[in-house]
């Protein structure tokens, strides 16, 4: 617990600084690195993947994750090239056709799961709103991406403490034995509260009912993301996706909820702003 807290106290200020004041290229590189690390961790869970699958898949996922910051239609080109490269990799000297097909499928899935959904984070960071909608397009974009992270991380924290304090009824024992219904409810409350705080602190341009809805739905999808990663870990007998972050596990363990919440948050921005 103390290790987890200490890691959070070190990383949280750095993340806030990056999202609020860091240059966009630095944000793009950070997103790409995080996606690449998480993808490599995911592919490493499956014994039938090769070292080349893990390295190339990680690199492709990183490119896809940062691609929304490229101009014009280049992001679509990156997606297409990534798919071609991932499938081409599986065709290189296959020892067994079934294993080669599995390698191709899991590599493509990892790129889409991690890189594709992480791309929504980059899209949020560069989202532009019409003049007059907020105090400024850059400050609005930075505020929204910070709000999205607050919603997910507040939900993680709320679910953890609510589960430890009040947890009695299992949520899905087969996938995640420690998660409880009480923890899930506590996480949703914390996510919604986090969205309300961010609305008052960072984004007065977002209506109250929008902020509360964002907190609830992004918090819920964030918890689904946590369960989705738990499914892969339970199926492969993996405790943590990695050891990169003391007390938190690997990069995928830390961003699994963000990967699911970011597309929902970006959809809201496209529709409402």
Q: What DSSP string describes 150-216?
A: HHHHHHHHHHHHHHHHH--SEEETTTEEEEEHHHHHHHHHHHHHHHHHHHHHT-TTS-HHHHHHHHH
Rounded to two decimals, the pTM is 0.92
For residue 192, give both structure tokens: 């919604």
pLDDT of 38 reads 97
Domain that includes residue 34, residue range: 2-272
- The domain total for the chain is 1
pLDDT of 132 reads 55
CA–CA separation, 76 and 88 (whole Å): 18
For residue 187, give both structure tokens: 């996480």
| Dihedral pair phi/psi, residue 180, rounded to 5° | -125, 160
Q: Which residues contact 66 (CB under 8 A, 6 or more apart)?
A: 28, 29, 31, 32, 35, 119, 122
Cβ 46 vs Cβ 236: under 8 Å: yes
pLDDT of 137 reads 41
DSSP collapsed to 3 states, 26-54: HHHHHHHHHHHHHHHHHHHCCCCCCHHHH
- Taking the CB of residue 2, how many other CB atoms lie within 10 A of it? 7
Cβ 240 vs Cβ 250: under 8 Å: yes
Cβ 211 vs Cβ 195: under 8 Å: yes
Averaged pLDDT in 10-residue chunks for the chain of 273 residues:
68 83 90 97 94 95 95 91 90 83 93 96 83 54 90 95 92 92 97 94 87 96 96 93 81 95 95 83
CA–CA separation, 152 and 148 (whole Å): 7
Cβ 140 vs Cβ 205: under 8 Å: yes
Beta bridge partners of 172: 176
CA–CA separation, 46 and 53 (whole Å): 11
Cβ 63 vs Cβ 116: under 8 Å: no
CA–CA separation, 171 and 178 (whole Å): 8
Residue 229: is it exposed, middle or buried by C-beta count within 10 angstroms (0-12/13-18/19+)? buried
């Amino acid at each position: 617990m103390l290790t987890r807290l200490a890691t959070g106290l070190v990383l949280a200020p750095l993340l806030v600084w990056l999202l609020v004041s860091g240059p966009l290229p630095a944000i793009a590189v950070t997103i790409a690195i995080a996606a690449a690390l998480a993808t490599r961790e995911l592919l490493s869970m499956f014994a039938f993947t090769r070292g080349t699958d893990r390295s190339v898949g990680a690199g492709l996922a990183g490119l896809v994750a940062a691609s929304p910051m490229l101009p014009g239609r280049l992001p679509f080109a990156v997606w297409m090239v990534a798919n071609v490269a991932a499938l081409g990799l599986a065709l290189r000297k296959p020892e067994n056709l079934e294993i080669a097909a599995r390698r191709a499928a899991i590599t493509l899935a990892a790129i889409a799961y991690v890189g594709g959904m992480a791309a929504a984070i980059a899209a949020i960071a560069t989202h532009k709103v019409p003049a007059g909608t907020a105090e400024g397009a850059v400050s609005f974009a930075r505020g929204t991406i910070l709000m999205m992270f607050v919603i997910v991380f507040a939900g993680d924290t709320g679910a953890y403490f609510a589960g430890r304090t009040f947890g009695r009824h299992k949520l899905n024992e087969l996938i995640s034995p420690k998660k409880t219904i009480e923890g899930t409810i506590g996480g949703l409350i914390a996510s919604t509260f986090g969205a309300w705080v961010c609305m008052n602190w960072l984004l007065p341009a977002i209506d109250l009912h929008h902020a509360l809805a964002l907190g609830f739905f992004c918090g819920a999808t964030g918890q689904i993301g946590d369960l989705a990663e738990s499914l892969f870990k339970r199926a492969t007998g993996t405790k943590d996706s990695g050891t990169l972050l003391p007390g938190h596990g690997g990069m995928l363990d830390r961003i699994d909820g963000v990967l699911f919440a970011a597309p929902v948050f970006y959809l809201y921005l496209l529709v409402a702003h």
